[in-house]
Amino acid sequence: MSRPLPPGDPVQLGPFRLSARLSETAAGIVFLGVDGAGRRASVAVLNRGAAGDAAARDRFRAAINAAVPAAGRAGVGPGRGPAAGPEGAAPVVAAQPDGPAPWVATLYEADRAGAERFLEPVVFQGSGRTWWGGRRRGPQFQPYWLGSGEPALEEPPRPAPAVPAPVGERAPERNLVAGVLGLAAGLLVLVLLLAVLFACQPEVEEPPPAPPEPTPSFPQPPQAPRPGTPSPSPSQGPSTPAPSPSPSGSPSGSGGGDDGPPL
């Protein structure tokens, strides 16, 4: 009974696109596939454990070689006719016993044995009798990879290494674009440096103007009235007239006597 592909299963093996799982064994998994011509096929692939065992791969290859003789193997492959299988088994249409994911494909016919028959000899079963005819006692040999249910996967194609372009053979347009971008980057760096320089410059504040110095004032001395100056008005108070000099050079008396010598 088939079931959908679980995550991790391959979707392509050789020319066959896989769509479902048909059966599982200890050695591998059988898928339902369709090739480019619309032909349905039963595709058996070893699981990761069996694919990593050189002896298991040899037994798988030997089973394919026994079902497809050398003359028939030359005609097996994509776009070629199927090789006739044993009586009652579906014929082989393609096979890849080598590589990281060995597989074999037969025509899918529900009433005939398909690709699952090639997985049976992969699991080595020890003979039940010894060379002298006696029956073997003890556990039979079992591969260490039994129970590995993950199918072997083909390696994805590696991308071709990039070939570097020869130095000095760039197109003129690319050189012009590179020059313009370099000039724009230089101008941008210059503008940023100027902006940082002006942003970091300190602002100098002008000091306030100094107040004017006061002019010292000194008291003026009183001035004596000059001769011939009119006497001050009564409101200014009495003033004493200055004595006038006498002709003889002596001051005149307040009584107004003669100029002779005193008695």
pLDDT tens-digit map of 157-185: 566 666 555 555 555 677 788 888 888 99
Q: Is the pLDDT of residue 85 over 60?
A: no
CATH annotation of 3-122: 3.30.200.20
Q: Nearest 5 degrees, angle CA 206-CA 210-CA 213? A: 170
Domain ranges of the chain: 3-122
Q: Please report the pLDDT score of residue 229 as a whole number.
A: 56
Q: Is the pLDDT of residue 63 over 90?
A: yes
The answer to which of 36-40, 92-96, 155-159, 253-257 has the lowest mean pLDDT is 253-257
Q: Is the pLDDT of residue 258 over 50?
A: no
- The reported pTM is 0.52
Mind listing the pLDDT tens digit for each residue in 191-200?
988 888 877 7
* Position 75 confidence tier, pLDDT thresholds 50, 70, 90: very low
Q: Please report the pLDDT score of residue 174 as a whole number.
A: 75
Burial of 96 (0-12, 13-18, 19+ CB in 10 A): middle
Q: Please report the pLDDT score of residue 198 as a whole number.
A: 79
Task: Please tell me the distance from the alpha carbon of residue 85 to that of residue 114, in angstroms, as a whole number.
Answer: 10
* Position 106 confidence tier, pLDDT thresholds 50, 70, 90: very high
Mind listing the pLDDT tens digit for each residue in 10-51?
999 999 999 999 999 889 999 999 999 999 999 999 998 889
Provide mean pLDDT across the span 69-77: 51
Average pLDDT, the chain: 74
SS3 state of residue 219: coil
Q: Please report the pLDDT score of residue 134 as a whole number.
A: 46
Q: Please report the pLDDT score of residue 152 as a whole number.
A: 79
Q: Please report the pLDDT score of residue 242 as a whole number.
A: 53
CB atoms within 10 A of CB 48: 16
Q: What is the H or E stretch that residue 147 is in?
A: none
Q: Quick one: which of 52, 30, 28 has its CA closest to 123?
A: 28
* Position 105 confidence tier, pLDDT thresholds 50, 70, 90: very high
Q: Please report the pLDDT score of residue 241 as a whole number.
A: 54
Tokens representing residue 114 in the block: 């398909």
Q: What is the H or E stretch that residue 182 is in?
A: helix 172-200
Q: Please report the pLDDT score of residue 254 as a whole number.
A: 46
Provide mean pLDDT across the span 69-83: 50
* Position 206 confidence tier, pLDDT thresholds 50, 70, 90: confident
